[in-house]
Amino acid sequence: MTEHLKVGLIGLGNAGMALAQALSSSFEIFAYDLDQNRLNEAQELGCNKALNSEDVASKARVILLSLPTPKATKTVCQSLANTSLEGSLIIETSTVAPSDIQWMIDFFTPKGASVVDAAIVGGIQKLSQGKTTFLVGASESDYARAKPVLSTAAEEIFHLGNAGTGMRAKLVNNAIAHTTMVMLLEGAALAQKVGVPLDVFYSLMSRESGLMRPLTHRFGERIKNQNFKGGMSTDNACKDSSLILDLARELGVPLFTMQASHTVYDIAKCEGLGQLDYAAISKLWERWLDINMGYANE
């Protein structure tokens, strides 16, 4: 155990308990939760039970928050302010809005404390095993203080910039996952209606040529290198998209993500991208936002 570094942990839900499990063998943990049963479980893992949030702040200068809602985070922050916080480092691991991180910065800075956002990517099991991924927003000095603690629970850490950037990255990551879930269910529903067994559908999607190809080939190769020659054209992608929408209407299958994506291919054709590989639809966002999607030389 690292005797000199005492770490506070407030919030012992599934993620908080997994953090306790990952950290307790390396640091002296002072844990608190409103649920006494959870506190008892944390004590069994080797954590010290704190009386309340203020008690945590009085015993540890590095404090991790793992709370269910932004409202809960603000309530705990206000409680922490009842004790001296000079030199404290508050690490927010809950998923909150970037504006909530800014609120925390504005709230804690006058009190002499710093804020780090360390968004968690991955399941509870990986977190408890010390194999999670953290998306971190912090100043260089705050990151240096937080890293030894976060590394104990992480297989990979991305330091993305100042506080708030970790949560922004987490929201993007989750948006992709949640949208992909809807798309997969649309595809599964279509597969069932046309008589394709779901185990076959799963096999097709799990191949590199299935669900992963837009990421690994089109984003990871074509867009990265700005190479849109050859490949399946935007015109053909738009044609196939029209065919699946027609089929879905015939079968009465409601579509949401596929309907929306077809609009993008229509626009791309009108913008003169029809003969290029359909990864060229990325050019639309470049034009709309004045950004560059190519990153081969970054």
Domains in the chain: boundaries: 2-165, 170-289
* CATH 3.10.20.740, applies to 2-165: no
**CA dihedral angle for residue 174, residue 176, residue 181, residue 185, rounded to 10 degrees:** 160
Q: Is 221 left (phi over 0), alpha (psi -120 to 50) or beta?
A: alpha
2-165 and 170-289 share one fold: no
Q: E strands along the chain, which residues? A: 2-10, 27-32, 48-49, 62-65, 89-92, 114-121, 132-137, 154-161
Q: What is the pLDDT of residue 4?
A: 58
Task: Quick: pLDDT tens for 251-292.
Answer: 999 999 999 999 999 999 999 999 999 999 999 999 999 999
User: In this predicted model, what pLDDT tens digit does every residue of 158-211 receive, in sequence order?
Assistant: 999 999 999 999 999 999 999 999 999 999 999 999 999 999 999 999 999 999
Q: What is the pLDDT of residue 297?
A: 80
Q: Could you tell me the pTM of the whole model?
A: 0.89
- Which option is the CATH number for 170-289: 2.40.50.180, 1.10.1040.10, 3.40.50.300, 2.30.40.10? 1.10.1040.10
- The pLDDT > 70 percentage for the chain reads 99
For every residue of 65-133, DSSP letters joined together read: E--SSHHHHHHHHHHHTTS--TT-EEEE-S---HHHHHHHHHHHGGGT-EEEEEEEES-HHHHHTT-EE
Q: How far apart are CA 90 and CA 113, in angstroms?
A: 7
Q: What is the mean pLDDT of the chain?
A: 95
Over 50: is that where the pLDDT of 122 sits?
yes
pLDDT at 10 over 50: yes
* Amino acid symbol at 88: S
Q: What is the pLDDT of residues 63-100, one digit of tens each?
A: 999 999 999 999 999 999 999 999 999 999 999 999 99
Rounded to the nearest 5°, which phi and psi values hold at 15?
A: -70, -40
